[in-house]
Amino acid sequence: MLYRRLGNSGLKVSALGLGTNAFGKRADFEASKRIIHYAMDNGINFIDTANIYAGTESEKIIGQALEGKRHDAVLATKAGLVRGGGANERGSSRFHLQTELESSLKRLRTDYVDLYQIHTFDPETPLEETLRALEDMIRSGKVRYIGASNYWAWELMKAVGISDRLGLNRFVSTQACYSLADRTPENELVPMCLDQGIGIIPYFPLAGGILTGKYSAGDREPAGSRAQTDPNFGRFIHDKTIGLGDNVQTLASKLGCSSSVLSLSWLMHQPVVSTVIVGATRVEQLEENLNSVSLTLSAGDLDELDVMSRPFRSGEPFAFYRLQ
């Protein structure tokens, strides 16, 4: 396994991380436990979850599965998106974050989380309040590092500036939708993070399956695909994305790997990326995707991928989660 620093911090994370939003939903406890143990047995140490995944079931499953293995994992969770209908069951106020951290720790069966992430920017809470609350969590020993998610570049830079001014711990990472099918972070977020030493953790690295080769002009809703189970996903399946999928598949065949492996490897070749989180509902999926860590792309391969995906630097992000 290849390990990298998380941003400019001293924390080392596996180049391939495990995303767990399917745990407790599309993968039951036993399947999820097998995936977690297989991941860790093969060098994956970064496990990412959130307080809202599968209605808190993801955190509960991870807590049980990590018994006896907690010290080997870099465990990351999040808070900030809507948890309920109450006035304070959302956002990044001190009130909400402290409540959610304590609940997450109980579900995860641990005294601390390695990376605590704000799930999205909260326009109704002063950043200073959020950052001071996170600082207190670090000082208490319940949180080791802090990160952001779904922040625009200016919001993240403002947070960094406040932390520097007040002498607080900085965000060491940020999660963003980033893939060959969504290169919009390269316009502002990537250069900002490179300048400030913040690691990007891409989510949706396979663009919901578009970069796996499963979609084609003749079959835009393959059985079991996201396009079939989620009607809203159909808006991403069009000639442009299908063409990208076909081009990635052609290059992958030439290199002797799958489209998924090639797409994940491309992200790992980006200097700003610390770890790439990819989900799984079966061990076999994770086994295949682990091949991305050992795939070395030449300058020519990277140029070819750049050309075929360059149109995806413009337009709207593939996914971006915000408070309404």
Sole residue written with tokens 């991941």: 39
- Pairing status of strand 74-79 against strand 46-48: parallel
Q: How many residues does the chain have?
A: 324
Under 8 Å between Cβ of 75 and 115: yes
Under 8 Å between Cβ of 64 and 33: yes
Which one of 3, 38, 53, 112 is the catalytic residue?
A: 53
| Catalytic status, residue 53 | yes
**Closest by CA position to 178, among listed 170, 165, 168, 188:** 188
Under 8 Å between Cβ of 6 and 47: no
137 CB-near residues (< 8 Å, 6+ apart): 97, 98, 101, 116, 143, 146
Under 8 Å between Cβ of 74 and 143: no
- The Cα 112–Cα 107 span in angstroms is 12
Under 8 Å between Cβ of 220 and 247: no
Sole residue written with tokens 């304590």: 102
Dump strand ranges (E) for 244-299.
276-279
Helix (H, G, I), strand (E, B) or coil at 288: helix
Q: Which residues are catalytic?
A: 53
